[in-house]
Structure 1
Amino acid sequence: MLQSVFDGNAAEIYSALPSEKSSDYDTVKQEVLKAYELVPEAYRQKFRSYKKFDSQTYVEFAREKEDLFDKWHTSKKTDNNFDNLRQLMLLEEFKQCVHLDLKTH
């Protein structure tokens, strides 16, 4: 049934799966979601640029901001480890403080 509703990238992912895996819903779901997953930099940018909408409550805004942060640090594989998270934050701050040429290098 899934094959009939997939199109584009999802259809390609599904058709590339071996037949024994294509009949397992959880495996198909995991592979399709992985294909559409954003890279860590995209999650970082979304987290940093997300602003509160007028129609949002502060609780909704905080929840969305938290979700974006979680996606960012999960994609960077910090594994909820304080030292890894600390390194991620310090590296980002360092990049904000250096000249663009050095940042690119």
Structure 2
Amino acid sequence: MGLSSILSKTVDSASSGFLKKALTGAGLGLASTAGVTVLVNSYIDNLRTSTGGLSSELLAILHLSALDYALSIILSAVVTRIALNSVGLQLSKLSK
């Protein structure tokens, strides 16, 4: 029994079970995350456009108060939460 036959049997058994489910679930997760990413990017672009009219002094004060970091952390948390919720929904529908 050579290495190639052992590898072939391992791939065949894995493809019918766990590996197939894992790859299918990852595909659904990536598809839903891509949709969320487009939506969030458009929201961020809208936010950038609306803050473009602010004076440079006001933007400097907001930077000194670390508001830009706070907004970055909040947006990252929202995106992460939405992505995790959408992946959980897709995987629960797949397993039923």
TM over 0.5: no
Greater C-alpha radius of gyration:
2
Bigger RCO of structures 1 and 2 (CA < 8 A, at least 6 apart): 2
